[in-house]
Amino acid sequence: MNYHCISGTVGNPSIIPESFVTMEEKTNSQSKQKVISEWVHSFSDYLYSWAYHKTSSNETAEDLVQEVFMAAVKNYEKFEGRSSPKTWLLKILNNKIIDHYRKLSKIQNNQDDTASQFTDSFFNGADNWKANGLEEAWTKESHLLDDPAFNKVMEICIEDLPNKWRLAILSKYLLQKESVEICQELEITESNYWQVLHRGKLLLKKCLEVNWFVKNN
């Protein structure tokens, strides 16, 4: 976690309301900045780990943690010490995570509809996977995951999935989370979860066929 980046941000007087830095309140302002700086060093790693656990994204986790400390600066006077600083910051982070997924959901609905229509085209009228001559290639390639080049292509394909589909696949197969937990995080029903997971794997398979098997055969 980049402490210098966060510390520099929360310690920058330009982001603190003018009332915090008047001569009358200068001492309190300096004290607040010192406390916030201590929190950054004490809790950044913990908050980042939790944010990454919930989002499966390094960049998103870092952004959320920075937003937490920005909010802590803004709302410092509201912290009454009834809970520990760690608990208070975690509560702010959880609210930020919820807001993050709400924003994503507005984009994901359109993405999901488009991607679903695309995956439907993979099947024939009898709901069977359309033969494309690559079925045998999959069975022959038993050590693909040992190939760095293949893993790079797969990483790109995963990143290109609709957000909800990508998060479902990463949460299940990389983070090995339970389906109940994934449903709660993505705010979807269990039946919708299995549909998302299934369609995500179909789209991932098609991407790998186009960008790996076709190009390497």
**61 band by pLDDT with thresholds 50, 70 and 90:** very high
Q: What CATH architecture applies to the domain 121-213? A: Orthogonal Bundle (1.10)
- What residue ranges do the domains of the chain occupy? 3-98, 121-213
What does the pLDDT read at residue 79? 85
What does the pLDDT read at residue 46? 94
pLDDT tens profile 98-111: 888 777 766 555 55
pLDDT tens profile 104-137: 766 555 555 555 554 454 444 444 444 444 455 5
DSSP letters spanning the chain = --HHHHHHHHT-GGGS-GGGGSGGGHHHHHHHHHHHHHHHHHHHHHHHHHHHHHH--HHHHHHHHHHHHHHHHHTGGG--SSS-HHHHHHHHHHHHHHHHHHHHHHHHHHHHHHHHHHHHTTB-TTS-BPP-S-HHHHHH-TTGGG-HHHHHHHHHHHHTS-HHHHHHHIIIIIS---HHHHHHHHT--HHHHHHHHHHHHHHHHHHHIIIIITTT-
pLDDT tens profile 16-39: 444 434 444 445 666 878 888 999
Highest mean pLDDT among 30-34, 181-185, 204-208: 181-185
Highest mean pLDDT among 107-116, 146-155, 156-165, 189-198: 189-198
User: What global pTM score does this model have?
Assistant: 0.45
**In this predicted structure, which of 35-39, 50-54, 59-63, 149-153 has the lowest mean pLDDT?**
149-153
**In this predicted structure, which of 80-89, 107-116, 138-147, 159-168 has the lowest mean pLDDT?**
107-116
**147 band by pLDDT with thresholds 50, 70 and 90:** confident
pLDDT surpasses 90 at 49:
yes
pLDDT surpasses 50 at 213:
yes
Which CATH class for the 3-98 domain? mainly alpha
In terms of pLDDT, which residue wins out, 154 or 8? Answer: 154
